[in-house]
């Protein structure tokens, strides 16, 4: 069985700035990773590489058994589901929520003239239901609250039944209830045997859904620590990543962190 992700010495440089430096990393089937790091650490850059949206300056990127640069990215991208603030900004505000979800089947944003089968709508509605936004089917995306938009986007990311799911701060900006709903829904997804390999970026350990198995901590484009979550997400490692003296704790499937 191939690695879902295999990075070898991946470096991304813009001018004299290193966005990522010498990142090596392997993600196997069945794993669910959380990536933590301060603002500007390179998390979104890393996800853009994993989404086959960006090529590294140097290094080798293996994705779903293919090698970036030697594969048609247009064949690779439908196998990868993604949510990000950048993607959300590109959704036409007048688009019906269900069409935001269903149009992922065509890799487009904004419905044009494509014909979707009733099964596609049934799938989109099932996913919206699973993420608690089933009743918002016909509402325009622009009128949704930020939490509702996040959940519609997650449903969209799952629409193509991807092998790899990339979530860039899926609960950022949500209120406590909204965050807990997203975390619970992602935790439920994580517990399904057929769930895609998921990689979730966040700033807050409280946002790690139950069932996430591994963690990567990054700072200034470099990996501080990576591996099984209980060994990696220690007070020392997280403190080093954020440059703070922290106490990290785990109870009942959830993580917390606070300054010492």
Ligand X SMILES: Nc1ncnc2c1ncn2[C@@H]1O[C@H](COP(=O)(O)OP(=O)(O)OP(=O)(O)O)[C@@H](O)[C@H]1O
Residues 35-94 that bind Mg ion (CB under 5 A): 43-44
| Interacting span for ligand X (CB under 6 A) from 12-20, 118-126, 208-216, 232-240 | 12-20
- Cβ of residue 110: shortest distance to ligand X, in angstroms? 25
Which phi and psi (to 5°) does residue 34 adopt?
-115, 140
Rounded least distance, CB 15 to ligand X, Å: 6
Question: Taking CB within 5 to 8 Å according to partner kind, which of Mg ion, ligand X, none is near residue 202?
Answer: none
Selection from ligand X, Mg ion, none that 41 binds (CB < 5 to 8 A by kind) is ligand X
Give residues 215-234 in contact with ligand X (rule: CB under 6 A).
none
Alpha carbons 105 and 80: distance in angstroms, whole number = 11
Does residue 56 interact with ligand X by CB under 6 A? Answer: no
- Between residues 45 and 103, which has the closer beta carbon with respect to Mg ion? 45
Please select the residue that binds ligand X; options are 4, 23, 34, 41, rule is CB under 6 A: 41
CB of 254 to Mg ion, least distance (A): 23
Range list of β-strands (E), the chain: 5-14, 17-27, 32-36, 58-63, 66-67, 80-83, 164-168, 197-202, 214-219, 222-228, 246-251, 254-259
90 counts as binding ligand X under rule CB under 6 A: no
H-run or E-run covering 65: none
Residue 228 and residue 216 in contact, taking contact as beta carbons nearer than 8 Å: no
Query: Is 20 strand, coil or helix?
Result: strand
232 part of the interface to Mg ion, by CB under 5 A: no
How long, in residues, is the chain? Answer: 260
Cβ-proximal residues to 117 (8 Å cutoff; 6+ apart), any chain: none
HSE at residue 106, side-chain half, CA atoms within 13 A, is: 16
Residue among 14 and 70 whose Cβ is closer to ligand X: 14
Instruction: Candidates 14, 70, 90, 260: give the one binding ligand X (CB under 6 A).
Output: 14
Q: Could you give the residue ranges of the DSSP H alpha helices within 20-105? A: 43-50, 73-76, 85-89, 97-102
Asked if 16 is part of the footprint of ligand X (rule: CB under 6 A), the reply reads: no
Q: By the criterion CB under 6 A, which residues form the site for ligand X?
A: 14, 17, 19, 37, 39-45
Q: By the criterion CB under 5 A, which residues form the site for Mg ion?
A: 43-44
């Amino acid at each position: 069985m191939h690695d879902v992700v295999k990075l070898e010495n991946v470096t991304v440089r813009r001018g004299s700035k290193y966005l990522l430096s010498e990142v090596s990393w392997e993600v196997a089937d069945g794993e669910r990773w959380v990536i933590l790091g301060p603002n500007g650490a390179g998390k979104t850059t890393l996800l853009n590489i994993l989404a086959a949206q960006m090529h590294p300056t140097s290094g080798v990127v293996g994705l779903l058994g293919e090698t970036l640069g030697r594969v048609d990215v247009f064949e690779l991208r439908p196998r990868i589901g993604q949510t990000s603030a950048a993607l959300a900004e590109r959704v036409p505000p007048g688009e019906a929520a269900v069409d935001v979800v269903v149009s992922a089947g065509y890799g487009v944003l904004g419905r044009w003239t494509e014909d979707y089968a009733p099964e596609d709508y049934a799938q989109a509605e099932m996913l919206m239901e699973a993420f608690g936004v089933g009743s918002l089917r016909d509402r325009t995306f622009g009128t949704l609250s930020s939490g509702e938009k996040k959940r519609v986007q997650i449903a969209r990311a799952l629409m193509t039944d991807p092998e790899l799911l990339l979530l860039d701060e899926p609960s950022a900006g949500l209120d406590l209830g909204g965050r807990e709903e997203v975390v619970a829904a992602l935790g439920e997804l994580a517990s399904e045997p057929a769930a895609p390999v998921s990689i979730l970026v966040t700033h807050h350990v409280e946002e790690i859904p139950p069932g996430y198995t591994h963690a990567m901590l990054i700072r200034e484009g470099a990996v501080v620590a990576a591996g099984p979550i209980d060994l990696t997400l220690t007070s020392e490692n997280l403190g080093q990543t954020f440059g703070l003296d922290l106490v990290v704790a785990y109870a009942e499937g959830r993580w917390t962190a606070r300054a010492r």
